[in-house]
Structure 1
Amino acid sequence: MPKKLKIILINISFLLIGILLIELIFGGWFNNSNQLSNLGIIRDAKFQFDVSHLYDTKNPTITYSRDKFGLRGISSFNQPEKINILTVGGSTTDQRYIDDSKTWQEVLEKAYKTNNEEVYISNAGVDGQSTYGHLKSFELWFSKIEKLQPEIIIFYVGINDFYRISSDSEYDNIQQLENRGLKSHIKDKSVIYNVYRKLKGIQKAKKHEVGHHKIDFSTINYTKESVIDEKLIDLYSIKNLEAFKSRLNKLIAYSEKMGAIPIFITQPAFTYKIRNGEVFGIEEVKYLEEKYAYNGVGYYKLLNKLNEVIREVSEPVLVIDITNDEDWKAEDFYDYYHMSEVGAEKLGNKIYEKLHQIEFVK
């Protein structure tokens, strides 16, 4: 065997052995704890963050805690059997930079207690998750938490599914979901794949400005003019909406299997604002897949297309519309999508009022 070829083969062997060791040590092949970590689920941890660079607050150092099950919530901490309402969503549900005591879930729970109703609400939001990730949460996370039997599951969804045009997930096909093969299990358990997925997600979040950062809204121009590529509307309807519908149906099925009632809350953003029935959106034109143009009003229209799908798959009474409320202000957000403490308080109180309009929830 030529010497150069022998050296190459030896190096490849060491590389493969290294990959195997990394997967065995850090992957989820034999350790469910690693599997959850790879999916971005933080457990048994407490962090303190300085949020003065994001929004104005009297106490700029906030506490962010997760219990041993990976759930966030003060009164039900490490006590999943107490949970009446489980909230599921992405970063706007997680609220990484809002104090434990001031998340919209805590505001909602306090509203119940103020009215002499003992309700325990837990936060299962995961930064960056779309409805793809929520399905994984049911399969790999919630099902492993003993005594977790919420009566209601609130899904706060829409924004993280906005940017998915292509139908590229196993969850676009429910039949495929029920009969998943080796490829799906590798994705679930492989630490290397999940590091790649996280890096790709960070890059995508930065590109579409959905990561956490401060925006000075006094410098943002809003317009009534709508910019939206007609091809984008057609493509969105054909690919994204049908796939979104499939995932929502599966989330409903998973919720009902747990004995819970699924309630959906549509999401607001400050890429647009509604005043006296008129929609104003940011003037800046952005692009999906680097070729389909839209501005703030176009974003609003596409977001409401996702909301229409939510109403289609769920009972109308179980959908709470927040997207189209007119009272959102710049002070409620620190960027286009994430709320400040002021916004979280407003959202929690809104949800309480609207939940109480649902007769059986009372």
Structure 2
Amino acid sequence: MRTSFLKIILTNSAFFFLFIFLSELFLGNWLKISPVQTIPNALYKVSEKYDGSHLYNLKEPFIINYSRNKDGYRISGSSNNKKNILTIGGSTTDQRYVSDGETFQDYIYKYLKGEFNIINGGVDGQSTLGHIYSIERWHSKTLNKKNIDTILFLIGVNDIKFVSSEQNKLYINMDDLSIVSRIRFFISNRSFIYKKLKTLKNKFTLSNDKVKKLEIGHGAKLNYINNNQLKEYITLEKYNDNSTNYYYYLFKKLLLTTKEIFPKAKILVVQQQDPKCKFNNQLEFVPTINNYELAGKSWDKQDVISYCQSLGNIFRIQENVLNESDNFKNVTKVRMFIDYPVPKNGFYDGLHTNKIGSKFIADYLFKFIKE
């Protein structure tokens, strides 16, 4: 009897809250929705503090200051400056655990002596699929198209899931645009009740100084192979056209969409460096680690080799798209994965850079931006 009564209460409570949420969705048109609120995993109007001591293997707290404005951007520069460079990518562009003022965008801004604002539009976990959605639904709505001089894409790693079902299992799809995901993100950004419950949760879970815990996906454990052993390069396997056609058209759509919406902007496609895979050229690589652990999942050497194979094929597909049409002659390709400009001490895990790595990236990209 008691169990049945409890079920009735829980069922009615669920229907009550569902009714409230639906009422807010369909009757709450007076609430204003920012374009960035429709982008999965994008943050806006935040000023957070993170303790990065675990990432950086420090015994004392290491406070990281992270902020985004009302439009969802980290801005290096002044609101009065009408010349802008927009950077788009995933977590390696976002740099959640690098403090404001120490990102690669901040360094580039200083190198350009304030001539351009550098707009950080990175979204943790976002792939080319999400970049297209962001170009169409976010950047085109919030930015003055005439004032965007250059758009820089730092991409590669998050696209692996499009060419390898095996590697796809290792990733959470952070730019899932399914109906269920859209409804979930829509509710999380629009519901008054949801926001109040989240505020109450943060009040009890965060410490007094509002320092947040680190999120899953950062802080991997790995050991690099001795440089003397990095001699035998592996030849990249030929990819299956049938399994990679989707990414081929996805990347092509990204470029065409960008050119259509920002016709005057220069486009830089930066094929990002992954410290786990050292490429000798476009067809040869060597894994730099034997094993790897991230978010509770362990990779052995064969997993790393498979990963590098997929990453190399992503860059080959990009190359094919860029070479096939005169439409992309003005797109600059930057082979960062071959040049390998960031040293080992520039990463705090198997992919993400610290402030040392940020400066190396800025030094490397600056010459391409100035061309």
Normalised by the length of structure 2, the TM-score is 0.69
Counterpart Cα distance in 2 of 1:185 and 1:275? 41
* 3-state SS of paired residue (1:162): helix
RMSD (Å) for aligned C-alpha atoms:
4.4
Correspondence 1:342 to 2:340: no
Aligned equivalents of 1:24, 1:219: Cα separation in 2: 57
Contact 2:274 2:350 in 1 (8 A): yes
Alpha-carbon distance, 1:152 to partner: 1.5
Q: Would you say the 8 A contact 2:83–2:115 is kept in 1?
A: no
In 1, are the aligned partners of 2:85 and 2:118 still within 8 Å (CA)? yes
Q: Deviations over 1:3-60 (max 9, x none)?
A: x99x989976653442242355479986524971662222122112222322379993
Is the partner of 1:155 in helix, strand or coil?
A: strand
Q: Deviations over 1:293-314 (max 9, x none)?
A: 9443443332121112222223
Task: Please tell me whether the aligned partners of residues 46 and 66 of structure 1 are also in contact (alpha carbons under 8 angstroms).
Answer: yes
2:273, 2:340 within 8 Å by CA — same for their partners in 1? Answer: no
TM-score by length of 1: 0.70
CA contact (8 A) 1:80 1:146 kept: no
Question: Aligned residues, how many?
Answer: 316
Query: 1:158 maps to which residue?
Result: 156
Q: Which residue does the alignment assign to 1:90?
A: 90
* Alignment match of 2:128 (pick from 128, 131, 151): 131
What is the DSSP-based 3-state SS (H/G/I as helix, E as strand, rest coil) of the residue aligned with 2:75? coil
Summarize the Cα distance change of 1:10–1:49 in structure 2 as closer, same or farther, 3 Å threshold: closer
Which residue among 140, 143, 157 is the counterpart of 2:140? 143
CA distance in 1 between counterparts of 2:88 and 2:50 reads 23
Distance in 2 separating the partners of 1:20 and 1:229: 54
**Partner of 2:101: helix, strand, or coil?**
helix
Q: Look up the match of 1:211.
A: 217
CA distance in 2, matches of 1:35, 1:355: 26
Partner of 2:319: 311
Counterpart-to-counterpart distance in 2, 1:255 and 1:139:
9
Q: Is the 8 A contact 2:223 2:291 kept in 1?
A: no
Structure 1 residues without counterparts, runs of 5 or longer: 169-179, 196-208, 357-361
Paired with 2:184 and 2:235, the residues of 1 have a C-alpha distance of 35
Over 3 Å counting, the alpha-carbon distance change for 1:67 and 1:226 in structure 2 is same
> Which of 249, 252, 267 is the matching residue for 1:249?
252
Q: C-alpha separation between the residues in 1 aligned to 2:158 and 2:53?
A: 25
Distance 1:228 1:210, change over 3 A: farther
How far is the alpha carbon of 1:255 from its aligned partner? 1.6
Could you tell me which residue of structure 2 aligns to residue 46 of structure 1? 47
Q: CA deviation at 1:328?
A: 3.6
Aligned to 1:68: 70
Is the CA contact (8 Å cut-off) linking 1:226 and 1:297 kept in structure 2? no
CA contact (8 A) 1:103 1:344 kept: yes
The equivalent residue for 1:22 is 21
Q: Which runs of 5+ in 2 are unaligned?
A: 169-176, 195-214, 323-327
AA aligned to 1:68 is K
